[in-house]
């Protein structure tokens, strides 16, 4: 009875216990909050690496909570899709937690820092729980845990606009979660089970009933709201702009990705792929919506003055890429989607971390004020440039790999009109990032050449993310192989 | 409400009974309506009633801020602790049958009681914290 | 037609409540009224879950010697969890509204939007 067989549960319990330990131990010394958070997220990252390796060696892991046999008990399942997303998300969370110390000290009032880290660890618990669970109502519980913590974290921003942004996100997010609860209720009413694998077996006989179609409609709307798919994206720009820098990075890099993972689970594991392709051809609708999201996200990012709002609209476009890959529903496009989950988390995380470093040092958020920062903060701006090149999709960076597979998947599905859509939005991405790079490097010649970069604790995670962008662009075999296995398991061919 | 002597006396008489009822609801979660969350809310409500009638400062004398913060966390730690105890005893997380407390039936009851008490403690403490922080408006 | 309405009255009630709550969440300007709408919305969903748990001739799912059949206890347990979630959401929303009131001086949405322009 080694401890490694309990890893599916430990990856959730450790952040939860650390979340409740932080208020007690922070009474002694304030910085314990950061120490405990970093330790807990590091251990979670190590556990998720070990889980992925076990899945690769032995196959799907299944953990029965309380040793109650599914479908009566709650089951935690880790397979290729799960393990991959778990490693990506826990890696990004670990790096952002390392980065957070100085930034949080500057932006959050001092007596609230321990509460901040408590809610932060609860947010992490909710995210990791969403990924690992194999029971659909447990999924709803973890969705709500992470959403509530997210609302509180976004409201911790400095200006009062953060409160309104958080309130809007709360109202919309609660509608989404309640729709998901309704969908679960309809599914339970018709099948009598809450286990995802068991639902997969019982649902095909019921595909023609109105109840199951209604359940699927509720799930689609609720999940689309959570991942900010066009036209349900309205909460996202305000939430990312006014949140504290660390929370903007965390939400942009992880929360929407986990929502996308939940969508993949519901669409391909609970409902078989033939449901969205043949029974109700919702896939066509999703393809159109994601194409609009890709173009509109990049277009709206062009005219923004605040860099965080520009990055938020850019995120809406990138979510369009990922949903496009899911909606095309063949092996190559799902591989492109999953690789883009990794890449976008790395790239957007890196970009938001650099923006946070600039805010920490100078408080600048306006793109025009970024003049001359290339001389003042050369390392941070180098990381920004690398991540921006990767967002455009320059070959040898990670962004190129995912866009390549998405284009291949679009061609294989016969929707060749998506390839010019992807190319046009890459061009638009290049334009709006060129605005920033132009301001950084080619303007502001009157600024003196003194180097005053962000502290090392903030630079190291930023550079780690930028390095991974290049690393996964040159040596793309690891993500490609893992997502190949995951896509084969989902699509079945 | 400090000056109204009838309310003061009735509150002082009622609060212990409400707390006993809260404990009863927590303990009898398995065989009747009730459980951790419901009993915790009733316990929290008893202290909130005291704070409403007598004021925040009197309430803080009853439940100091340090005790409140510690009880917030201890409930979740008891929950996690029972689960991890089951893991150490050789079963899965929250597998109460394995605990070495006599028959499997009795161990199952004790495990469930343990986590209900943990949940009740956290819920009561959080209810009191919420009320007092809201009433003070974070001052 | 009458049978269709009368036999499934629990679903009609839940839909009516849900639409009332949803309308309040969207259309009302006062922030607190939106939260009340949210509560009504979520309570309607709880009503739906509990109403599908009823078994013909079943008693409440508590052990009783004279019971022949019990209702399905699983939706009751699910709704306990969902009620906790609803209470927590209301608590976070009310805390946010208090901070908004302190920052803006008003809790009417149109006045807040004007102040933000």
A296-340 pLDDT, tens digit each: 999 999 888 899 999 999 999 999 999 999 998 888 999 999 999
Mean pLDDT of A29-38: 87
Q: Would you state the pLDDT for residue C117?
A: 75
Q: Is the pLDDT of residue A52 over 60?
A: yes
Whether C19 contacts A182, CB under 8 Å: no
As a whole number of angstroms, the distance between CA A66 and CA B87 comes to 10
Highest mean pLDDT: which range of A170-174, A265-269, B63-67: A170-174
- Residue A454: left (phi > 0), alpha (psi -120 to 50), or beta? beta
B1 or A439, which is more confident: A439
Q: Is A278 on the interface with C (CB under 8 A)?
A: no
Domain ranges of chain B: 5-136
Chain A residues in contact with B73 (beta carbon < 8 A): 20-21, 23-24
Structural domains in chain C? 2-116 (1.10.287.3510)
Chain A residues in contact with B119 (beta carbon < 8 A): none
Mean pLDDT of A111-138: 93
- Closest chain C residue to the Cα of A164, Cα to Cα: C100
Whether C115 contacts A175, CB under 8 Å: no
A457 or B124, which is more confident: B124
* Contact residues, B window 3-32, toward C, CB-based 8 Å cutoff: 31-32
Q: Would you state the pLDDT for residue A491?
A: 82
Contact A148 C38 (CB under 8 A): no
As a whole number of angstroms, the distance between CA B121 and CA B72 comes to 7
Q: Is A160 on the interface with B (CB under 8 A)?
A: no
Q: Which two tokens stand for residue A455?
A: 């502290």
Q: State the best of B45, B75, B129, B130 to mutate against chain C, taking most chain C CBs within 10 Å.
A: B130
Which candidate from C22, C75, C92 shows the least CB-CB separation from A152? C92
With cut-offs at 50, 70 and 90, classify the pLDDT of residue A440.
confident
Q: Is the pLDDT of residue C27 over 70?
A: yes
- Chain C neighbours (≥3 Cβ pairs under 8 A) are A, B
Q: Is C77 on the interface with B (CB under 8 A)?
A: no
Q: Is the pLDDT of residue A445 over 80?
A: no
Q: In chain A, pLDDT over 70 holds for what percent of residues?
A: 98
Whether B47 contacts B128, CB under 8 Å: yes
Query: How many residue pairs bridge chain A and chain C with CB atoms within 8 Å of each other?
Result: 63
Whether A179 contacts A221, CB under 8 Å: yes
Domain ranges of chain A: 338-493
- Closest chain A residue to the Cα of C107, Cα to Cα: A164
As a whole number of angstroms, the distance between CA C5 and CA C7 comes to 6
Contact C92 A181 (CB under 8 A): no
> pLDDT tens digit string along A195-227?
998 999 998 888 888 899 999 999 999 999 999
Highest mean pLDDT: which range of A361-370, A384-393, C56-65: A384-393
Whether A254 contacts A266, CB under 8 Å: no
Q: Is the pLDDT of residue A474 over 90?
A: no
Q: Is the pLDDT of residue A493 over 60?
A: no
Q: State the best of B131, B138, B139 to mutate against chain C, taking most chain C CBs within 10 Å.
A: B138
Q: Would you state the pLDDT for residue C5?
A: 82
Contact C112 A174 (CB under 8 A): no
Q: Is A32 on the interface with C (CB under 8 A)?
A: no
Query: CB-hemisphere CA count at 13 Å for B7?
Result: 11
As a whole number of angstroms, the distance between CA A422 and CA A414 comes to 15
- Chain B neighbours (≥3 Cβ pairs under 8 A) are A, C
Mean pLDDT of C4-29: 91
Closest CA–CA distance from residue A109 to any residue of chain C (Å): 15
Whether B21 contacts B43, CB under 8 Å: no
Q: Is the pLDDT of residue A492 over 80?
A: no
Q: Tell me the pLDDT of chain A averaged across its residues.
A: 89
As a whole number of angstroms, the distance between CA A224 and CA A244 comes to 24
Q: Which range is least confidently modeled, A303-312, A448-457, A475-484? A: A448-457
Q: Would you state the pLDDT for residue B96?
A: 85
Mean pLDDT of A102-121: 90
Query: How many residue pairs bridge chain A and chain B with CB atoms within 8 Å of each other?
Result: 47
Query: CA geometry: angle at A395 spanning A394 and A399, to 5°?
Result: 65
Which candidate from B31, B33, B37 shows the least CB-CB separation from C84? B37
Q: In chain A, pLDDT over 90 holds for what percent of residues?
A: 53
Q: Would you state the pLDDT for residue C100?
A: 93
**Closest listed residue to residue A26, CA positions, set B40, B72, B63, B81:** B72
Q: Is A6 on the interface with B (CB under 8 A)?
A: yes
Mean pLDDT of C1-27: 90
Q: In whole angstroms, how far apart are CA C44 and each of A290, C35, C51? A: 32, 14, 11
Mean pLDDT of B75-103: 87
Contact B37 C94 (CB under 8 A): no
Chain A residues in contact with B69 (beta carbon < 8 A): 23-24, 27
Length of chain C: 117
Contact C80 B35 (CB under 8 A): yes
With cut-offs at 50, 70 and 90, classify the pLDDT of residue A448.
low
Contact A141 C41 (CB under 8 A): no
Chain A residues in contact with C25 (beta carbon < 8 A): 171, 175
């Amino acid at each position: 009875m080694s401890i490694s067989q309990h890893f599916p549960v430990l990856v959730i319990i450790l952040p939860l216990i650390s979340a409740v330990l932080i208020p007690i131990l922070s009474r002694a010394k304030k910085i314990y909050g950061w120490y405990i958070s970093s330790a807990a997220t590091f251990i979670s990252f190590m556990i998720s690496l070990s889980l992925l390796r076990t899945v690769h060696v032995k196959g799907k892991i299944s953990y029965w909570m309380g040793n109650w046999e599914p479908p009566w008990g709650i089951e935690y399942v880790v397979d290729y899709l799960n393990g991959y997303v778990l490693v990506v998300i826990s890696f990004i969370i670990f790096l952002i937690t390392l980065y957070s110390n100085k930034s949080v000290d500057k932006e959050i009032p001092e007596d609230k820092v321990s509460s901040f880290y408590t809610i932060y660890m609860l947010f992490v618990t909710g995210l990791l729980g969403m990924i690992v669970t194999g029971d659909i109502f447990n999924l709803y519980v973890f969705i709500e845990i992470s959403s509530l913590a997210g609302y509180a974290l976004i409201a911790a921003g400095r200006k009062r606009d953060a409160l309104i942004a958080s309130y809007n996100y709360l109202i919309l997010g609660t509608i989404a979660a309640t729709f998901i609860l309704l969908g679960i209720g309809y599914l339970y009413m018709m099948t009598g089970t809450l286990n995802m694998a068991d639902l997969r077996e019982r649902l095909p006989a019921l595909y023609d009933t109105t109840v199951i179609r209604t359940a699927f409609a509720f799930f689609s709307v609720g999940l689309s709201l959570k991942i900010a798919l066009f036209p349900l994206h309205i909460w996202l720009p305000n939430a990312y702009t006014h949140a504290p820098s660390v929370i903007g990075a965390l939400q942009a890099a992880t929360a929407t990705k986990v929502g996308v993972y939940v969508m993949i689970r519901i669409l391909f594991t609970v409902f078989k792929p033939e449901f969205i392709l043949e029974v109700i051809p919702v896939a066509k609708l999703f393809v159109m919506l994601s194409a609009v999201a890709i173009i509109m996200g990049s277009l709206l990012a062009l005219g923004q003055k605040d860099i965080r709002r520009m990055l938020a609209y850019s995120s809406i476009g990138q979510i369009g890429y990922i949903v496009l890959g899911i909606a095309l529903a063949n092996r190559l496009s799902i591989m492109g989607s999953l690789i883009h989950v990794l890449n976008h988390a790395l790239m957007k995380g890196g970009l938001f971390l650099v923006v946070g470093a600039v805010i920490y040092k100078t408080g600048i958020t306006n793109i025009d004020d970024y003049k001359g920062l290339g001389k003042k903060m050369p390392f941070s701006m180098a990381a920004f440039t690398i991540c921006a090149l990767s967002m455009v999709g320059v070959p040898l960076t990670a962004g190129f790999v995912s866009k390549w597979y998405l284009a291949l998947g679009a061609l294989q599905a016969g929707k060749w009109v998506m390839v010019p859509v992807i190319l046009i939005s890459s061009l638009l991405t290049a334009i709006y990032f060129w605005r920033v790079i132009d301001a950084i490097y080619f303007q502001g010649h009157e600024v003196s050449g003194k180097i005053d970069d962000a502290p090392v604790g903030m630079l190291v995670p930023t550079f780690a993310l930028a390095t991974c962008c290049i690393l996964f662009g040159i040596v793309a075999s690891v993500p490609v192989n893992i997502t190949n296995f995951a896509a084969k398991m989902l699509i079945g061919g | 409400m400090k000056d109204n002597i009838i309310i003061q006396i009735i509150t002082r008489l009622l609060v212990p009974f409400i707390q006993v009822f809260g404990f009863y609801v927590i303990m009898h979660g398995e065989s009747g309506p009730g459980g951790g969350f419901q009993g915790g809310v009733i316990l929290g409500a008893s202290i909130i009633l005291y704070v409403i009638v007598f004021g925040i400062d009197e309430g803080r004398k009853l439940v100091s801020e340090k005790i409140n913060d510690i009880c917030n966390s201890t409930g979740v730690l008891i929950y996690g602790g029972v689960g991890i105890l089951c893991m150490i005893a050789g079963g899965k997380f929250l597998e109460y049958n394995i605990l070495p407390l006599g028959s499997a039936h009795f161990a199952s009851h004790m495990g469930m009681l343990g986590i209900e008490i943990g949940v009740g403690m956290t819920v009561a403490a959080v209810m009191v914290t919420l009320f007092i922080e809201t009433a003070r408006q974070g001052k | 037609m009458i049978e269709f309405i009368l036999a499934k009255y629990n679903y009609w009630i839940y839909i009516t409540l849900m639409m009332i709550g949803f309308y309040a969440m969207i259309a009302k300007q006062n922030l607190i009224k939106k939260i009340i709408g949210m509560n009504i919305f979520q309570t309607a969903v709880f009503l739906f879950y509990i109403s599908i748990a009823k078994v013909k001739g079943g008693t409440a799912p508590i052990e009783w010697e004279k019971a022949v059949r019990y209702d399905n206890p699983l939706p009751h347990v699910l709704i306990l969890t969902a009620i906790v979630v609803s209470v927590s959401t209301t608590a976070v929303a009310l805390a946010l509204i208090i901070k908004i009131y302190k920052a803006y001086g008003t809790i009417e949405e149109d006045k807040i939007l004007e102040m933000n322009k």
